[in-house]
């Protein structure tokens, strides 16, 4: 009986979590996948410029860290729903990964696996030193994937999280 009560209590807590998370996001941020996100576009800038803009906020934010494919799918659906339009479908958005060859990590230092299905096929290519951005893989399904791009590359926007 006690186990049933604990499960009920956990279910109540889980049902309230989205509202709690929504309440802790800054006004310009959206609650999604357990974090608070802000998508900024159109703005042509490098990864470093995007990172600096996120970190210049008060309090500082970071470029988005995508830890699981489910988070990537949630972000893709969010963009398609809240920022629908031709410009969004062609947008490339900086997120918080960087690395070279098979050594990639997120801005917080945690590992970003090159074997993850979050990468676009054939990415990151060997010898590529650079940064991660989200791009739409094709016209059929609007799912976004990670691709690697170099220091001087530009994207049409970025995603901060706090």
Q: What percent of the chain has pLDDT over 90?
A: 38
Q: Give the range among 40-49, 108-117, 127-136 with minimum mean pLDDT.
A: 127-136
Check the CA dihedral 129-130-132-133 and report its sign. Answer: negative
Phi, psi of 148 (to 5 degrees): -100, 140
Hunting for tokens 């920022």 — which residue is that? 83
Can you give the pLDDT at residue 127?
73
Residue 2 predicted with pLDDT over 70: no
Q: Report the SS3 class of residue 131.
A: strand
CATH architecture of 2-161: Roll (3.10)
pLDDT of residue 48: 95
pLDDT in tens, 120-144: 888 887 776 899 998 887 665 667 8
How high is the pLDDT of residue 140? 56
* pLDDT score for 91: 80
78-93 confidence digits (pLDDT tens)? 888 877 765 566 788 9
| pLDDT tops 50 at residue 11 | no
pLDDT-based confidence at 1, cuts 50/70/90? low
Token pair 């410029």 is at which residue?
49
Higher pLDDT, 145 or 64: 64
Domain boundaries defined on the chain: 2-161
Query: What percent of the chain stands above pLDDT 70?
Result: 79
Query: How many residues in total does the chain contain?
Result: 162
- Name the pTM for this structure: 0.80
pLDDT value at residue 137? 76
Torsion sign over Cα 47, 33, 29, 83 = positive
């Amino acid at each position: 009986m006690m186990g049933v009560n604990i499960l009920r209590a956990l279910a109540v807590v889980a049902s309230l979590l989205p509202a709690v998370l929504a309440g802790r996001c800054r006004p310009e941020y959206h609650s999604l996948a357990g974090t608070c996100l802000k998508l900024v576009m159109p703005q042509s800038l490098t990864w470093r410029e995007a990172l600096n803009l996120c970190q210049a906020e008060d309090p500082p934010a970071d470029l988005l860290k995508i830890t699981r494919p489910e988070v990537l799918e949630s972000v893709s659906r969010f963009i398609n729903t809240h920022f629908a339009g031709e410009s969004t479908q062609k947008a490339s958005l900086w997120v918080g990964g960087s690395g070279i060859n098979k050594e990639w990590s997120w801005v917080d230092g945690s590992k970003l696996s090159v074997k993850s299905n979050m990468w676009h096929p054939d990415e990151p290519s060997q010898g590529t030193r650079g940064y991660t951005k989200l791009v739409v893989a094709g016209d059929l399904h609007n799912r976004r994937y990670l691709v690697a791009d170099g220091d001087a590359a530009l994207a049409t926007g970025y995603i901060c999280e706090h």
